[in-house]
Structure formats: C-alpha cells, structure tokens
C-alpha cells in the first residue's frame, strides 16, 4: 500500500489485544459433537438441489452422511475428489447464495444445514493427518506450464500431477496462493491457512513452483508453448479500474486490492495505517472486505458508496449484513463526483444517481462526506492476454477452458464466462486439467 502523508491515516488506533479479537476466525470450527449434530439435520435428499448449486459438483449429502457415521476423513475425500481447495472454499465460498440457499431445510424452515462449516470440519480433519490423500498415476513424460498460482492454477496443477504429468507453476508474486493468499479478508482465513493449504496440495509431488515470473515479462506465451506440451493460464485480473473523479490523485486515495494485500501480509496489524474516516467506492466482495477490515483496525467511520441500489451489489446480502453489523454504513445510488482537500483527502463529494431502465445517470444532487482515506473497489481488469482471442475484456474460452491457441487453456478470473469466485476458479482449473489430460493422452 502506498505511503501517505495524510494526517488522519495512522497506525495503532487499537491495541494488539483488540486487533487479535477483531481478526479472530469469522466462523469458529465445529467440534466433533457439534459436527455430528449439524450433520443429523441433513435429509440426504435424492437429486439434492445443493449439489446442483455447487460449482464443483460436490456430493454434499454423501459427505454429510459420512460425517454423521463418524468418518470425516472419508467425507473430506468426497469433497477433495471434486474440489482440491475444499478447505479454503469452506471458509470463503458464499454458501448462503449457493448450496445453503438451495438446501431443503432453508426452503422449509429458513435455516439450512450448515454445509460450509461441515465441509471445513471434514477437510480440516483430513489435512491434519500426515501424508497426502492422493497418489500420482504413472509418469507420462508430458510437461505442462501453469501460469498463476491462484485457485484455478493450483486446482489445474494438482489434477494434472495426479494423472502423471509434470507441472511447473509460474507466479508473479513471491509466494503462491493468488486471491486466497492476497485478496480476501484476514478474518476468513486465519492461522496462515492459505499457505498451509498450498503446501499440502503440492504434497502430491510432480509440481514445481517458480515465483517472481509474470506473463509478458519474464514469461512469453510463445516460448511456453514451444517448451511445454500444454499451457494453462490462471493469471487473474491484475489491473484496478480508475475512479474517474476529480481529485482521485490526492494523497489518501488508494485501491482496495493493495490495501487488503498489505493487510494479509502484515505481521503486526497494529502497524498498519488506517484512516479515521474511510470511504470505499464499490459494491463487490473487495469493497466489503476493505470496509469491514478498516473498521476492525479502528476507523471511526466507514462508508461503502455504491452507484446502484442494494439489489445491484455483487456482494451477497449476507456480506452486506456482515458489514452493517460491524458498523459500516452502506450508501446506495451514489457515485464519486470529486475528492476535495489540499493535497490530501479531506472530503469526498458523491452525486446521487438514478436508473431510467436504459442507463445510470447522475441527478446533479450531491452530498459531501468527511474522508481522509478513500478506497477504489470498482473492479479489476486483465493486464495481459498473451495475444489470445478475447470475449469482452477477458480471454475467450470454451466450456473446458480451451483458448484460440490449441496448446493453451485458461480459467479463473482471467477467463470469460464464469463467476469471479474461488470455487468457480477451482472448477474451471479442474475441468481444464481433465481436457488437457485427454488432449495429451490422445
């Protein structure tokens, strides 16, 4: 995160004890008895709607039945067979909008089976054991390059290694994990879980990691396609959209992605500066995570300003309510018009908006809020496409991740078509790996 001379942005607003309490695990893990009780609520439906709602097609009734019969390790294997990052997805997946929303208990009683917490219980149990639960097939002699060590790349690499291919993962950062390591709220992934999960995943063998190498810089796609039998791109979205408001270059205006990244890598959150009055522009998960964590660091007032109505927010209603419960104010139908201050942010001017069914436009009516820190959380953009065909602003892919280059596949946030979710990226990486395997085996 860039340094700033804005007087209102300071570190140490709260004590270490307060910070530790605020950034504790959002959802405490189940104890064995609690997991058994929660599992007993499942109806074990035939043609269960929760399976259809899961982007990775996990057999949810089966793994819950395995928990209820006292075999959480078998339950974890059922999960990992479909989603090798099931541990992280149990923590960050919007289950309230996916499997739990489709749960028959939710429809009948308004209280679903706690699928996410049960998934975490199972996966944590197996991951705590020694050894990796999968063995590699016979070595094929084929080499695959995976660019990007985020959820899509890791999922793809593991599935390829399991089928006997040798994999090299390249990543621009100094450590792997992608979004899971750098881009989600710290209270969702405690105890360095993202790094531990990557280490566990790579325990299958056959995967080599090279960090500090970005596509288009140290890596050229044409070179990779010459040196490897196949290439998978899971490069994510590295660019941050501009605010496009007068004064957006003032000290104290930062992008939320960098703020969250710095927070996630901080060894001491009492040293992380935060404003007294924080305004976050955006309506997605990044906006929610930046706003809530600003409040947890001790900001006096935090406001999320979104240009459309509540129903237009890509962040789930659960996440919106989480923000509100932490003291974050949500403002709808407002867009940034200007940022005021003498060199540093002092106020943000917001213009009210209206949607006439054809386009969103400003009404001319404005409101000013005190602000010494403004975060941009208005979406990210693809920074490199390797010269591949695009669909809109992302890489064009088939349902199995094939691109316009017959030796290149892509998945995750950089690829067109899917939701920008960890669980979707995992599914796309897995499916691309299976298509790559079929192609290399032909």
Residues in the chain: 442
Q: What is the pLDDT of residues 311-340, one digit of tens each?
A: 999 999 999 999 999 999 999 999 999 999
Q: Which residues of 48-79 are buried (b: 16+ CB within 10 A; e: fewer)?
A: bbbbebbbbebbbbbbbbbbbeebbebbbbbb
Read off the CATH number of the domain in which 435 is found: 3.50.50.60
Residue 251 per-residue DSSP state: B
Distance CA 19, CA 296 (A): 7
Distance CA 355, CA 358 (A): 7
Domain end (from 376, 411, 433): 376
275 in a domain, yes or no? Answer: yes
59: containing domain: 32-127
| Statement to judge: residues 168 and 47 lie in one domain | no
Residue 3 pLDDT class (50, 70, 90 cuts): very low
| Statement to judge: residues 226 and 247 lie in one domain | no
Give the number of other Cβ atoms within 10 Å of residue 317's Cβ.
Answer: 13
Domain count, the chain: 3
Structural contact between residues 407 and 230, judged by C-beta atoms closer than 8 angstroms:
yes
∠ CA 187-190-194, rounded to 5°: 115
Q: What is the pLDDT of residues 188-212, one digit of tens each?
A: 999 999 999 999 999 999 999 999 9
DSSP string, 374-434: EEE-S-EE-S--TT--EETTEE---TT-B-SSTTEEE-GGGBSSS-S-HHHHHHHHHHHHH
Average pLDDT over residues 66-72: 98
| Statement to judge: residues 159 and 211 lie in one domain | yes
| pLDDT of amino acid 1 | 45
Of the chain, the end-to-end C-alpha distance in Å amounts to: 48
Helices (H) and strands (E) in the chain, counts: 17, 17
Distance CA 207, CA 157 (A): 7
Residue 2 pLDDT class (50, 70, 90 cuts): very low
| Statement to judge: residues 232 and 273 lie in one domain | no
Q: What is the pLDDT of residues 282-296, one digit of tens each?
A: 999 999 999 999 999
Longest dimension (CA), the chain: 67
Which of 238, 160, 211, 196 minimizes the C-alpha distance to 401? Answer: 160
**pTM of full prediction above 0.85:** yes
Distance CA 87, CA 126 (A): 10
Q: H or E stretch including 188? A: none
| Statement to judge: residues 360 and 247 lie in one domain | yes
Q: What is the pLDDT of residues 221-247, one digit of tens each?
A: 999 999 999 999 999 998 888 898 999
Residue 6 pLDDT class (50, 70, 90 cuts): confident
Enumerate the β-bridge partners of residue 339.
348
225 in a domain, yes or no? Answer: yes
Residue 152 pLDDT class (50, 70, 90 cuts): very high
Residue 37 pLDDT class (50, 70, 90 cuts): very high
């Amino acid at each position: 995160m860039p340094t700033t001379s804005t007087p209102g942005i300071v570190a140490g607003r709260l004590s270490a004890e307060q910070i530790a309490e605020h950034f504790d695990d959002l959802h405490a893990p189940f104890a064995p008895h609690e997991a058994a009780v929660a599992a007993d609520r499942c109806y074990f439906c035939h043609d269960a709607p929760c399976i259809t709602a899961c982007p990775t097609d996990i057999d949810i009734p089966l793994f819950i039945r395995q928990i209820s019969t006292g075999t959480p390790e078998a339950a974890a294997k059922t999960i990992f067979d479909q989603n090798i990052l099931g541990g992280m997805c149990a923590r960050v997946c919007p289950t309230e909008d996916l499997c739990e929303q489709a749960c028959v208990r939710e429809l009948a009683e308004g209280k679903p089976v706690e699928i996410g917490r049960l998934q975490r219980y199972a996966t944590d149990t197996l991951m705590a054991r020694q050894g990796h639960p999968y063995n590699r097939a016979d070595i094929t002699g084929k080499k695959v390059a995976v660019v990007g060590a985020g959820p899509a790349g890791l999922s793809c690499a593991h599935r390829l290694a399991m089928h006997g291919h040798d994999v090299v993962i390249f990543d621009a950062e100094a450590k792997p994990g992608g979004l899971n390591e750098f881009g989600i709220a710290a209270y969702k992934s405690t105890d360095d879980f993202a790094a531990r999960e990557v280490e566990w995943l790579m325990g299958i063998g056959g995967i080599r990691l090279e960090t500090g190498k970005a596509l288009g810089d140290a890596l050229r796609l044409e070179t990779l396609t010459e040196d490897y039998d196949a290439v998978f791109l899971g490069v994510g979205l590295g660019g941050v959209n501009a605010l496009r408001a007068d004064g957006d270059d003032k000290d104290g205006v930062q992008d939320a992605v960098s703020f969250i990244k710095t927070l996630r890598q901080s060894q001491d959150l009492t040293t992380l500066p935060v404003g007294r009055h924080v305004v976050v522009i955006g309506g997605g998960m990044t906006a929610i995570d930046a706003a809530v964590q600003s409040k947890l660091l001790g900001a006096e007032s935090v406001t999320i300003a979104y240009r459309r109505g509540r129903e237009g927010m890509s962040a789930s209603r659960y996440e919106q309510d989480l923000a509100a419960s932490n003291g974050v104010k949500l403002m709808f139908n407002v867009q940034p018009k200007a940022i005021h201050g003498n060199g540093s942010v002092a106020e943000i001017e917001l213009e009210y908006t209206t949607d006439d069914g054809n386009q969103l436009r400003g009404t001319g009516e404005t409101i000013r809020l005190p602000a010494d820190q403004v975060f941009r959380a208005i979406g990210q953009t693809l920074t490199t496409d390797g010269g591949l065909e695009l669909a809109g602003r992302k890489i064009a892919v088939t349902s199995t991740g094939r691109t316009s280059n017959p030796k290149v596949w892509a998945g995750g946030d950089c690829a067109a078509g899917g939701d920008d979710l960890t669980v979707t990226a995992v599914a796309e990486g897995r499916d691309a790996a299976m298509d790559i395997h079929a192609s290399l085996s032909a």
